[in-house]
Chains A and B, each alone.
Chain A
Amino acid sequence: MAHAPGLSAVIVDDHPAVRAGVAQWLTTGTPPIRVAASGDDVRVAWTGEGATADVVILDLHLGGPAPAVNDLRRLTEAGRRVVVYSMRAADDIALQCLELGALSYLTKAEGAAHLQEAAAAAASGRAFTPPSLAGALAGDRSTGRPSLSARETEVLIEWFQSESKDFVGQRLGISPRTVNTHLEHIRIKYAMSGREAPTKAALLARAIQDGLVRVDDL
């Protein structure tokens, strides 16, 4: 991850314990991410310091039974970088969040390391694919899904199965860095195949900047 000392985040979750825990993880991660604001309502992401935070950590289930997809849509339409942090490990919801422009989707069963990495990646405009999301992508049977290469599918499955990029690299005889590149490529394919969203355009721009794709590929 690129070193960005001034990164900040806003946490939207209806459980104070979760807010406190996430704040602790983010501030102690590498790089550390300052928590600009946190609250149990999505308004904290639109007002005060929260409105300018680099990344929004959004709980999809804010009290109500229905997931807060509309809040997610408004945030991504405003160009905000969102990491969805959810209790639910449902593939369809995860894929829907990606479609709406979330840069990452994590389940609360996934530990600190994945959340720290996802927040740092999102803060710098990059997508992050945690293992559960890799599983959702590997098991995606929807008709509109992008076609992945055999290697990309392999990487998704191995990453889902082992939760360790070192292990995936060892298994497939590639470096953990190459594993990352494959995962980013997959996310770019998804961004290109889905509906337009400002965050997706930003994601593609970032990918071109990072040399992952060329303008001709788009």
Chain B
Amino acid sequence: MTGEPRAADDGSGVPAAGEKRPAAAGEPRAAGDHVHATMRIVLVCATGVLQLGLSLHPVLVQDCRHRWLAVAAFAALAGVTAVCCGWVLRRRPLPGALVAAGTAVVLAASFCAAVALGPERRFGPADWSFGLVGWHLLLLLLDRVRVLVTVLAAHLAASMGMFLSAGVPDRSALGAAGAAAFAAVNVQLAVIVITRVLQQQTREAAPATAERDHLLTKVLTAQQWEQHQHSAFAGQLGSTLPLLAGLADGELDPRDPDTQRRCALAATQLRRLFAENDEVPDPLVHEVTACVDTAERRGVDVSFAVSGAAVPVPAQVRRELTGPVIAALSAARSRARVSVLRTDEEVRVAVVADAAADVAAAATARVRVEYGVYGDHLRLEAGWRTRQG
């Protein structure tokens, strides 16, 4: 039996390289592993059914030279299948050592079965082991095609050698044996080809699937963003909606100074909100200008000054910085001073206005807000440190 040691060597040599595969797994490789895992499950089922369904009966009832040897071979083959189940059913690749040992055991079992039956009956109707061993080898070596083909060929050659060593058979026996061997090997080759084709197709399908998943994620993200925008916009409308409702229901009197102040606040908020998404080089000043503009339309004399070079300010921080400006400007009676100052460390937006009204402007985690009343003047300042921490 020249095939056995060789097969064992190959089996232990290649898995070392094979072990590395999952580590370097890319998308197509993962797809290939997926095909192998599924095929192994099919093979483990097929092997089990074939062994119990077709081989058990001949092993037990057929007359043979050494019954115990046949039973031992059968048990060894069943054992290999059972051990493989542990990995196969969890969709794990078989470890290299298991593959090497399993291949050796399977080949040895094949040899024993042939010896137990008598070499001259190899490939005959009584030979239960030849085809079955092919299935076992498929199960063990599915993802190592070159080794598999080599081992299958060695097994076939060794079996042929045994068959011929028993004496030169007549032509019809030779033909029958050849046909049986050919049929058995063909089934195994077909499985190999099917696996390859499936693997190929999966590899081609993988990028398409990934692209589809990617698109799906993008669509979901866009939907969530849109929802967020909707709710954020509704949130930023702030006091506008209840104010409009109040005016429409006649609950609020437009002549009431408080209502007028609330209207001024809502108008300034909206104007700033519209300015928020404009593409301008200095968005903070643009938004503050929008607030100033609304106050001026209301008749407030606003003096507006900007100092220091523009620095990038996140949209949310701009919202928090302009909030106090909106509050103070909408409370201003006739005059206001608005200033934006950008120093090395800080961006400071301040409003000094002739307003007596209480103004609500809360500090946030990032923006500090200072509020004070000095005589009949109100001062509000929002500051944001450009270098956090």
Is B342 a contact of A139 with CB atoms below 8 Å?
Answer: yes
Task: Find B307's partner among A136, A162, A164 (CB 8 Å cutoff).
Answer: A136
B374 to chain A, nearest CB (A): 5
CA distance A111 to B372 in the complex (A): 26
Segment of B73-81, B82-90, B138-146, B375-383 engaged in the interface with chain A: B375-383
Is A135 a contact of B305 with CB atoms below 8 Å?
Answer: yes
Binary interface profile of B, 305-344, with partner A (CB < 8 Å = 1, else 0)? 1111100000000000000000000000000010101111
Instruction: List B residues 337-361 near A (Cβ within 8 Å).
Output: 337, 339, 341-344, 348, 350, 352
Q: How many residues of A contact B (CB 8 A)?
A: 19
Known A167-B352, A167-B377, A170-B375: A157·B341 in contact at CB below 8 Å: yes
Interface presence of A178 (CB below 8 A): no
A195 to chain B, nearest CB (A): 23
Is A131 a contact of B305 with CB atoms below 8 Å?
Answer: yes
Is A162 a contact of B341 with CB atoms below 8 Å?
Answer: no
Interface presence of A89 (CB below 8 A): yes
Is A160 a contact of B341 with CB atoms below 8 Å?
Answer: yes
Interface presence of A40 (CB below 8 A): no
Binary interface profile of A, 150-175, with partner B (CB < 8 Å = 1, else 0)? 00000001001111100100110000
CA distance A120 to B352 in the complex (A): 27
Known A161-B381, A162-B379: A141·B308 in contact at CB below 8 Å: yes
Interface presence of A86 (CB below 8 A): no
Is A160 a contact of B305 with CB atoms below 8 Å?
Answer: yes
B contact face: mostly helix, strand, loop, or mixed: strand
Contacts of B307 in A (CB 8 A): 91, 132, 135-136, 138-139, 160
Interface presence of B165 (CB below 8 A): no
Contacts of B372 in A (CB 8 A): 171
Interface presence of B150 (CB below 8 A): no
Instruction: List A residues 68-111 near B (Cβ within 8 Å).
Output: 89, 91, 109
Is A170 a contact of B374 with CB atoms below 8 Å?
Answer: yes
B375 to chain A, nearest CB (A): 7
Interface presence of B231 (CB below 8 A): no
Q: How large is the interface on B (under 10, 10 to 19, 20 to 34, 35 or more residues)?
A: 20 to 34
CA distance A160 to B374 in the complex (A): 17
A167 to chain B, nearest CB (A): 6
CA distance A141 to B343 in the complex (A): 7
Is A91 a contact of B308 with CB atoms below 8 Å?
Answer: yes
Is A139 a contact of B305 with CB atoms below 8 Å?
Answer: no
Binary interface profile of B, 291-312, with partner A (CB < 8 Å = 1, else 0)? 0000000000001011111000
Is B379 a contact of A139 with CB atoms below 8 Å?
Answer: no
Give the nearest-CB partner of A153 in chain B. B343
CA distance A156 to B129 in the complex (A): 99
Contacts of A131 in B (CB 8 A): 305
Max chain A C-beta neighbours (<10 A), residue from B309, B339, B342, B377: B339
Give the nearest-CB partner of B343 in chain A. A139
Is B377 a contact of A139 with CB atoms below 8 Å?
Answer: no
B311 to chain A, nearest CB (A): 10
Contacts of A139 in B (CB 8 A): 307-309, 341-343
Task: Find A161's partner among B308, B309, B337, B344 (CB 8 Å cutoff).
Answer: B337
Is A132 a contact of B343 with CB atoms below 8 Å?
Answer: no
Task: Find B379's partner among A132, A138, A160, A171 (CB 8 Å cutoff).
Answer: A171
Is A171 a contact of B350 with CB atoms below 8 Å?
Answer: no
B353 to chain A, nearest CB (A): 10
Is B303 a contact of A161 with CB atoms below 8 Å?
Answer: no
A172 to chain B, nearest CB (A): 11
CA distance A132 to B303 in the complex (A): 11
Is A135 a contact of B341 with CB atoms below 8 Å?
Answer: yes
B350 to chain A, nearest CB (A): 4
Task: Find B341's partner among A89, A161, A171 (CB 8 Å cutoff).
Answer: A161
Max chain B C-beta neighbours (<10 A), residue from A131, A132, A135, A170: A135
Give the nearest-CB partner of B339 in chain A. A161
Instruction: List B residues 270-307 near A (Cβ within 8 Å).
Output: 303, 305-307
Known A109-B303, A136-B307: A160·B339 in contact at CB below 8 Å: yes
Instruction: List A residues 163-212 near B (Cβ within 8 Å).
Output: 163-164, 167, 170-171
A sample of 5 inter-chain contacts (CB < 8 A) reads A132-B305, A135-B308, A138-B343, A139-B307, A161-B339
A residues contacting B by CB (< 8 A) are 89, 91, 109, 131-132, 135-136, 138-139, 141, 157, 160-164, 167, 170-171
Question: Which 9 A-B residue pairings sit nearest by Cβ, starting from the closest?
Answer: A139-B308, A135-B307, A161-B350, A139-B307, A162-B352, A161-B339, A170-B374, A163-B337, A132-B305
- Other A-B contacts than A163-B303, A164-B352, 14 sampled, CB-CB below 8 A, are A89-B305, A89-B306, A91-B308, A135-B306, A136-B307, A139-B342, A139-B343, A141-B308, A141-B309, A161-B339, A161-B350, A167-B352, A167-B374, A171-B372
